[in-house]
Chain A
């Protein structure tokens, strides 16, 4: 099994209501100098087979990310 880390983020230019709300809250708590905040998901997968990154890419295309509004990146550590 190979450890694969998928990061799914809202696409640049797509509204991120969650990031916007957290940015506002950080400002209210007194953290100054915080610009844009964007919030995504980290998905850890254990994948068997020869091409774990390719598998993960297919999973992103079919399920893990919504290509209309989200980008994803795939990392295979080690």
Chain B
């Protein structure tokens, strides 16, 4: 049986299709999970919150989406040990929902930044870095306006750090996990780095964590 990954869709989600392609590229099955539904699709093994501008980033990035009905089901899934990854806006939603520590603030550049970035693995003992060694460097693009993670790095499980802390994240954090490691969020876009034709396949190493 292949792994079934529920890919969430909110109004304003932009990366649903590329996330589905990335998931399918890993040999898993992708199903759409709609924001207004109270349950995740039957048979969901793992959850992916893709990037975008859910609800136009209004009020605070991810704030409105984090209160959507489907998020209660995502919480139950995570509490039961199920794997959840949030990318970019999905990361912001997970922080707003209290599933991950910290918050995302305006970039130190005071601008949107779209750039290929080098990330260093800070913790190889998570499902999302199991194919990597601590200290390994991977190349994945960022594209965000409010991507500077703010929080207490000692109280969080830092998984990935930027080699160049362009956005001004606390402790150069690019991705964090919950204490158990089953929930992770990151600002870079691994689904945009799953095809050699587009310049990098390093994203597959991270998203492999969706497959138990």
Q: Do chains A and B touch in the complex (CB under 8 A)?
A: yes
Contact of A21 among B36, B64, B67, B68 (CB under 8 A): B64
Please give the distance in Å from B80's CB to the nearest CB on chain A.
25
B67 & A18 in contact (Cβ 8 Å cutoff): no
B56 & A18 in contact (Cβ 8 Å cutoff): yes
Which chain B residue lies CB-closest to A29? B67
Please give the distance in Å from A40's CB to the nearest CB on chain B.
13
A17 & B67 in contact (Cβ 8 Å cutoff): no
A25 & B56 in contact (Cβ 8 Å cutoff): no
Interface residues contributed by chain A, number (CB under 8 Å)? 8
- CA separation between A29 and B64, bound complex, in Å? 10
Chain B interface category by residue count = under 10
Contact of B58 among A21, A28, A29 (CB under 8 A): A21
Contact of B64 among A17, A22, A39 (CB under 8 A): A22
B36: chain A residues within 8 A (beta carbon)? 28
Majority DSSP secondary structure for residues of B touching A: loop
- CA separation between A59 and B68, bound complex, in Å? 40
Please give the distance in Å from B46's CB to the nearest CB on chain A.
26
A21: chain B residues within 8 A (beta carbon)? 55-56, 58-59, 64
Kindly supply a per-residue 1/0 record for chain B positions 16-52, scoring 1 wherever the CB is within 8 Å of any chain A CB and 0 otherwise.
0000000000000000000010000000000000000
B56: chain A residues within 8 A (beta carbon)? 17-18, 21
- CA separation between A17 and B55, bound complex, in Å? 10
B68: chain A residues within 8 A (beta carbon)? 28
Which chain A residue lies CB-closest to B12? A21
Which chain B residue lies CB-closest to A16? B58
- CA separation between A29 and B72, bound complex, in Å? 13
B67 & A22 in contact (Cβ 8 Å cutoff): no
- CA separation between A39 and B55, bound complex, in Å? 15
- CA separation between A18 and B59, bound complex, in Å? 7
- CA separation between A22 and B65, bound complex, in Å? 11
- CA separation between A28 and B10, bound complex, in Å? 13
B64: chain A residues within 8 A (beta carbon)? 21-22, 25
Please give the distance in Å from B56's CB to the nearest CB on chain A.
5
Q: A21-B55, A25-B55 are in contact. List 12 more A-B contacts (CB 8 A).
A: A17-B56, A18-B56, A18-B59, A21-B58, A21-B59, A21-B64, A22-B58, A25-B59, A25-B67, A29-B67, A39-B58, A39-B59
The 5 closest A-B pairs by CB, nearest first: A21-B58, A18-B58, A25-B64, A21-B55, A21-B56
A residues apposed to B, CB below 8 Å: 17-18, 21-22, 25, 28-29, 39
- Complex A-B: 7 CB contacts under 8 Å: A18-B58, A21-B55, A22-B59, A22-B64, A25-B64, A28-B36, A39-B58
